[in-house]
Structure 1
Amino acid sequence: MLSGRALFVAFVTLSVVTVACSSDERRIAIGAGETVEDAGAPTPPSFDTPEDAGDASTATSDAARPGIAMCIATECPYPFGTCGGTAGTNTAFACGTNLLADKNNCGTCGNVCPQSSAFPELNMDTQCVDGACRRQCVPRSGVQYGDCNGLVDDGCETNLNSNPDHCGLCGNSCPSGPDGERRCINGQCGCPFGQTWCDPVGCTDTSIDDTNCGACGNVCQGTDAGPPPPNMEYRCQQGKCAQLRCSSGFADCNGKLQEDGCEVHIVSDSKNCGACGNVCLAGQRCLPKGNTVACGCEPLETLCKSGNQEFCADLLNDTRNCGACGYTCPSKGGYVAACRKGFCEYDCSPGRGDCDGDVRNGCETDLMINGRHCGACGNQCDTAAGQPCISGSCLMVECDGGVVTK
C-alpha cells in the first residue's frame, strides 16, 4: 500500500525521533479529517466533498475512507545523504548532499571525483553522473574538444573547431569547397552564407571587402576620379572597386549625388530619421535607440544624455537609469536588483533568503535545504529529531502501520 512512501509536507514541525509513530507520538491524519492520539497535534486539512459538490455516494465514500498517519522523517530519501561539510554549505545540513551529482560525494559520502588537473593536456574533467564519476571533454581557451578515437589514454584529442573530419562533433566530415579544400571553421563546415574563404583573412564578404573585392586578393587601389562628393567615399561595392557609397550614418535623400553627395545625417535628422522620408512628429527628435534610431521617446520615457549621446529611458523601471538618468542600481551578492517606481529594490533569487537581515552578505540562506529556514525564513524543521529539509519542505513519511480510522 502506501507505507514507506516519502511525502513532502511543507512547514510542519513535530517532536518525534523515529519514523514509526508510537501511541505516545503525535500524528497527522491526511484524508480522514481528524487526528488521533494527541490533542495537541495540528488539525489536518479536510478532503470531504462539499455539500454542494458531487453526489451523495461520492461524499459518503470519501468520508468513510481511512486517513493516513504521518510521522516526521529522520532518514534521507533517495538520492540524498548527510555527508557533513563546512558550516553554511549544503553538505553541512541533514540530507544536504545529492549523491547522484555531487563531485565530492559521488555515489557515496567522501567519494571525490578527480579534478581536471589529474588529466594534464588531455582536455578532460570529471563529473558525477548518476552517482558515478565520468570523464567528460571540456573546452580550452574557447576551443571545443572531443574524444573521437575512443582511446582513454589520449583523452579528448580532437579539435572540433577546426578538424574537417570531425567538425563540430565526432564523425561530421566536411565536403570539399569550390577550391577543393575541406575546411572546418569554428565548428561549421565552410564559410557562412554570402562569404568566401580568402587567405590570409579567412571568411570575408567579397562584395564589400576592399582587399578582396569581387575575388580573393583583388585590392582596390586609389582612383583618379577626384575627391568624392560630401559624406561619400570610394569603396568596394557589389564586388567592384571605386564605387561611390554613402559614409556610415548618411544618406542621399534628394537624389543629387554629384551636387551635395549624401547630404542627410539620418541618425539625427527629425525629417529623415533612420531613413529618407521618415518624419518625426512635432516636438520629437531623432534619437539613438539600441542599435537603431527612433523619433522621440515613448510615453513615460525620459530623454537622457550621456556625454554627447542622447537616449530614452524609463526612469521608473530601468535598473540602469533608476529614478535618474545614468543611475544604476548597485549589485549585491545573492540579490536580484529591480527598479520599482524609480527606487532600487532587491529580491532574493528563487530558493534563497535573507534570513539574518544583513544586506552585506545578501541572500545568504539556501531555503531548499536549511532545516532552520525551510522554504521560508524562520520555518524550522524538527532538527533535534533529525528531520531534514528537502526541496524547501520538512520531510514527512507515512507512519509504519499508521492507518487512522474513525
Structure 2
Amino acid sequence: MIKFAGERSLKAMAQALMLRRVAVLVVAASLCSAGGACSSGREILAKEGPPVFGSETEEAGADVSPDLLAELCPSTECPPGRVACPNKPFPCAVDLSSDDENCGACGVRCRQDEAFLETFHAIMTCSNAACQLVCSPGYADCNGNVEDGCEVETLENPKNCGACGTVCDVCYAGRCGCKGSDTYCPGAGCVSLYSSDDNCGACGNACPESPESNKPPLPPEQHAYYGCAFGICEQPKCDPPHADCNHDLGDPNGDGCEVADITSDPKNCGTCGNECGPGESCSDGKCICPCGAPCFNLNSDPDNCGLCGFYCPGDNRSRLLQATSLGVADPAHGRPICDQGVCGYRCSSHWGDCDADISNGCETSLLVDPLNCGACGVRCDGIEGQACVNGQCLMKECPEKGGTR
C-alpha cells in the first residue's frame, strides 16, 4: 500500500499498526510493574524506525503518533493513475485523469490556445481522463454540440438569460430584470420610475409638459423644467446635461442647475463632487489622463510601478493569456506585482522560483519535483528514484521484520 507522509489517510493505517504495538506496550508495562528501571511505551517506540520524509506530523491528525509515522519507508511505486510521461520530467508526475497535456494517455493534449478561445468562447480541460468543454463567462453550450463550442451569449440574451433556456422580458448581466433599481416597462424597456417623465412612479404614467398646478415658471437661466423627480410629477429638474450640485434648485433666489455639463466638468465628473486629479480631464462622465491616455495607479501597476513607464521585471506571459481566467495553467506560473510602488514577483499556488531567476517565472512545480517537494530545496532522497506526489515525498508501509527498510 502506497502512502504519503503527512497524509490524512495515515490515520487508518495507524490504527492497523497499533495492533503490532500492543505486545511492546505490554512488555513495557510488565517491566514497570516488576519494579525494574523502565521508560514509557512511547519512549521505547520513539527509538525505533527511520526518520519520516514529508510534512509535519500534525498534518496527519493530532491523534496519530509520530512513532507510527516512523513505520513508513521511501517508495518508488507510483500510486494508481499516476504515470511518467515523456513531456513531464519527473516520475509519477502525471495524473492521466486531470492532466491537460496528458489526458487519458501520454501526449493527448486538451486545446487551450488563444485562437480556440476566441473562436469558440471556450477552452478544453481534462476531467475524468477526457477533454471537456469549459465555456467563457457569459457564454454557454446550449445545443450540446462541442463542434461549435459555446455558441450562445447569456449576459443580455432574453431567450437564454444567464443559462440555456431561461426566458425573460429583459436580461441584464445574466439575470432577468433591469440593472439597479430600474423597472421594465413594456414598450419602454428598463426605466427609472423615480425620474422617467414618461413613466413617473409607474409604467405609462407620463408627466404633463406644463405644470397643471399654480407653480411659478422656472427662470431660463436656471436651465430647469418641471418633470418627474422621486417618482412625482411637476418637480423642478435639470435640463440634461446640466446639474444642480449645490442643491438649491427650486429656490427663487438660487442659481438652479449651475453645472453646465456634468459629463465634462472636471470638478463634477459624472456625479456631483467627483473631482478629477491634477492634469486629468473629464470626458463622457469619466476622468481621463492627459492626451486621452488611460490612467495608472503608480502604487499597484506593474507596468508603471512608482513612476510612469517603470516596468517590473520578470516573466509576464500571464498578462498575455486570456485563458488563465478560466483556470488554464499560467505559462509563467506567476506574475510581476507592484506593491506601494515597489516591484516584486508572486508565484502561483504550488509553484516556486527555486532558481532565484524571475526572468523565467516560477519554474518549479512543488507538487512533483523530487528536488523541491512541497517547497524549494526539500529533497526526496530517502532512496534512489523516490518520487514527489502532491508536494509530498512518496512513502509506503515498511516491510515486515526481516525486510529492508
Give the structure-2-normalised TM-score. 0.53
Query: What are the superposed Cα offsets for residues 254-286 of structure 1, whole Å, 9 maximum, x if unpaired?
Result: 973543225699x9xxxxxxxxxxxxxxxxxxx
Task: Decide which of 140, 146, 162 is 1:144's aligned counterpart.
Answer: 140
Moved more, 98-107 or 163-172: 163-172
Instruction: Decide whether aligned partners of structure 1 residues 380 and 209 sit closer, same or farther in structure 2, where only a CA change above 3 A counts.
Output: same
- Residue 81 of structure 1 corresponds to 83
Residue 76 of structure 1 and its aligned partner are, at CA, apart by: 2.0
Task: Decide which of 245, 252, 263 is 2:247's aligned counterpart.
Answer: 252
Unaligned regions of 5+ residues in structure 2, if any? 8-42, 58-64, 212-216, 282-286, 288-297, 316-333
Residue 353 of structure 1 and its aligned partner are, at CA, apart by: 2.0
| Alpha-carbon distance between aligned partners in 1 of 2:74 and 2:372, rounded to the nearest angstrom | 17
- Residue 13 of structure 1 corresponds to none
Q: Which has the higher contact order (CA 8 A, sep 6+)?
A: 1
Equivalent position amino acid for 2:162 in 1 = G
**Kept after mapping to 1: 8 A contact 2:6/2:56:** no
| Alpha-carbon distance between aligned partners in 1 of 2:205 and 2:77, rounded to the nearest angstrom | 73
Equivalent position amino acid for 2:374 in 1 = G
**Kept after mapping to 2: 8 A contact 1:9/1:395:** no
Residue 222 of structure 1 and its aligned partner are, at CA, apart by: 11
What is the correspondence of 1:205-220 to structure 2 with a 5 Å cutoff?
205=192, 207-209=194-196, 214=200
**Kept after mapping to 1: 8 A contact 2:111/2:124:** yes
Unaligned regions of 5+ residues in structure 1, if any? 11-29, 48-61, 86-90, 175-181, 268-286, 295-303, 310-316
- Residue 189 of structure 1 corresponds to 176
| Alpha-carbon distance between aligned partners in 2 of 1:383 and 1:248, rounded to the nearest angstrom | 75
- Residue 203 of structure 1 corresponds to 190
Residue 6 of structure 1 and its aligned partner are, at CA, apart by: 0.8
- Residue 339 of structure 1 corresponds to 339
Instruction: Decide whether aligned partners of structure 1 residues 253 and 190 sit closer, same or farther in structure 2, where only a CA change above 3 A counts.
Output: closer
Partner of 1:260, secondary structure, is: coil
Would you say how many aligned residue pairs link Structure 1 and Structure 2? Answer: 308
Query: What are the superposed Cα offsets for residues 344-401 of structure 1, whole Å, 9 maximum, x if unpaired?
Result: 4444344222222223223222222222222222333239832222222222222232
- Residue 57 of structure 1 corresponds to none
Structural RMSD (CA): 5.7
- Residue 52 of structure 1 corresponds to none
- Residue 378 of structure 2 corresponds to 379
| Alpha-carbon distance between aligned partners in 2 of 1:204 and 1:31, rounded to the nearest angstrom | 80
**Kept after mapping to 2: 8 A contact 1:372/1:380:** yes
| Alpha-carbon distance between aligned partners in 2 of 1:33 and 1:357, rounded to the nearest angstrom | 39
**Kept after mapping to 1: 8 A contact 2:370/2:393:** yes
Instruction: Decide whether aligned partners of structure 1 residues 121 and 353 sit closer, same or farther in structure 2, where only a CA change above 3 A counts.
Output: closer
Partner of 2:163, secondary structure, is: coil
- Residue 19 of structure 2 corresponds to none
**Kept after mapping to 2: 8 A contact 1:374/1:393:** yes
Instruction: Decide whether aligned partners of structure 1 residues 357 and 35 sit closer, same or farther in structure 2, where only a CA change above 3 A counts.
Output: same
Q: Is structure 2 residue 312 aligned with structure 1 residue 330?
A: yes
Residue 105 of structure 1 and its aligned partner are, at CA, apart by: 2.3
**Kept after mapping to 2: 8 A contact 1:69/1:403:** no
**Kept after mapping to 2: 8 A contact 1:196/1:206:** no
Equivalent position amino acid for 2:395 in 1 = M
Equivalent position amino acid for 2:377 in 1 = G
Query: What are the superposed Cα offsets for residues 43-79 of structure 1, whole Å, 9 maximum, x if unpaired?
Result: 89999xxxxxxxxxxxxxx89x877433222122244
Task: Decide which of 251, 256, 261 is 2:256's aligned counterpart.
Answer: 261
What is the correspondence of 1:222-371 to structure 2 with a 5 Å cutoff?
228-230=220-222, 232-234=223-225, 237-238=228-229, 240=233, 243-245=236-238, 247-248=242-243, 250-252=245-247, 256-261=251-256, 305=278, 307=280, 318-319=299-300, 330=312, 332-333=314-315, 334-335=334-335, 337=337, 339=339, 343-371=342-370
Partner of 2:237, secondary structure, is: strand
Instruction: Decide whether aligned partners of structure 1 residues 381 and 219 sit closer, same or farther in structure 2, where only a CA change above 3 A counts.
Output: farther
What is the correspondence of 1:64-75 to structure 2 with a 5 Å cutoff?
68-75=70-77
Equivalent position amino acid for 1:359 in 2 = I
- Residue 100 of structure 1 corresponds to 97
Partner of 1:360, secondary structure, is: helix
Instruction: Decide whether aligned partners of structure 1 residues 345 and 202 sit closer, same or farther in structure 2, where only a CA change above 3 A counts.
Output: same
> What is the percentage of aligned positions where both structures have the same residue?
28
Equivalent position amino acid for 2:385 in 1 = G
| Alpha-carbon distance between aligned partners in 1 of 2:100 and 2:56, rounded to the nearest angstrom | 44
- Residue 394 of structure 1 corresponds to 393
Equivalent position amino acid for 1:330 in 2 = C
| Alpha-carbon distance between aligned partners in 2 of 1:196 and 1:329, rounded to the nearest angstrom | 47
**Kept after mapping to 1: 8 A contact 2:207/2:227:** no
Instruction: Decide whether aligned partners of structure 1 residues 163 and 263 sit closer, same or farther in structure 2, where only a CA change above 3 A counts.
Output: closer
- Residue 21 of structure 1 corresponds to none
Task: Decide which of 7, 32, 57 is 2:4's aligned counterpart.
Answer: 7
Larger helix share, 1 or 2: 2
**Kept after mapping to 1: 8 A contact 2:52/2:70:** no
